[in-house]
Amino acid sequence: MSKTKNSLVIAVSSRALFNLDESHRIYEEFGVEAYAKHQQENEEVILEPGVGFSLVKKFLSLNSNKTPIDVILLSRNSADTGLRIFNSIEYYGLNITRAAFTRGESTHPFVGSFEADLFLSSNHNDVQKALDMGYAAASIVNSSTQNSHETQLRIAFDGDAVIFSDDSERVFQEKGLIEFEKSEKENANKTMKAGPFQAFLKSLHKIQANFPEKDNPIRTALVTARSAPTHKRVIHTMREWGIRIDESFFLGGLDKGKFLKEFGADIFFDDQRQNCESASKFVPTGHVPSGVKNQ
């Protein structure tokens, strides 16, 4: 079934939605049969929320005829072992009705089949393949921290190699900070190329636009290592794209975690694994294996 023109579709793996660490440990140590037995014996045992649970719950709470939002479950489980997952979905009252169970096969081909705007998974390979196909995708970083806003959906993004392409990041990596700042100053009025999350941010902005700017149920933030004067090109690019970012943090290399905690992000997306590990101590985090730092 094709999504409607203005709908937002989120594809999420079972391990991103729920805490399946114990089940995964059994799979890793004892194999598929032991895993299947464990899941079947615990079908009525409700799973604890995972890293992406708060994000999914808030997205679903915004679903309406005016702002259609669909969450799809993409799972490497079989339909049989996935019964526990759907029992947990039902227990939490999550309106997730569509799913693909691949019985161990990669789930990434179905990101396109469901026309997903965002794919969240704990499987790095599935995420990488989805990114290579041109979809916004992130690998969930293990975290037991939950500092998200009580009601408002809050999503934070890194800039280069996430919202924007990695062209500027390549200059920094290859030529250093001075040449990077020089290049960005010279190109301050030149719009940057889109990164893997630009389309998702645009779709998110369309949902936001259905509500008043004040007390909007969605709030976004840009949290970047950039500082003045390289922030000018970012502002110019967002204006050209017609996208509003509610809060912007140009941190000049400061640790992002404390700022993300104060922002109350339901999830933060960053391309650098080191930044993700640090941020995950404060908020749910997704690693975007995109750009020069992941080559």
Which residues carry out catalysis? 158
The two structure tokens encoding residue 212 = 């008043």
Contacts of 167 (CB under 8 A, 6+ apart): 192, 193
Instruction: Count Cα atoms within 13 angstroms, Cβ side, for 166.
Output: 17
Decide: residue 3, CB within 10 A, 0-12 exposed, 13-18 middle, 19+ buried.
Answer: middle
Do the beta carbons of residue 285 and residue 276 sit within 8 Å? yes
The amino acid that residue 243 corresponds to is: I
Query: Is the preceding peptide bond at 212 cis, omega within 30 degrees of 0?
Result: no
Q: Which of 180, 217, 273, 177 is nearest to 60 (CA)?
A: 217
Which residue is it, tokens 């799972």? 75
CA angle 54, 115, 292 (to 5 degrees): 75
Give 3-state DSSP helix, strand, coil % of the chain, rounded to 5. Answer: 40, 20, 45
The amino acid that residue 156 corresponds to is: A
Cβ neighbours of 174 (radius 10 Å): 10
Instruction: Count Cα atoms within 13 angstroms, Cβ side, for 285.
Output: 27
- For 271: left if phi > 0, alpha if psi spans -120 to 50, otherwise beta; the answer is alpha
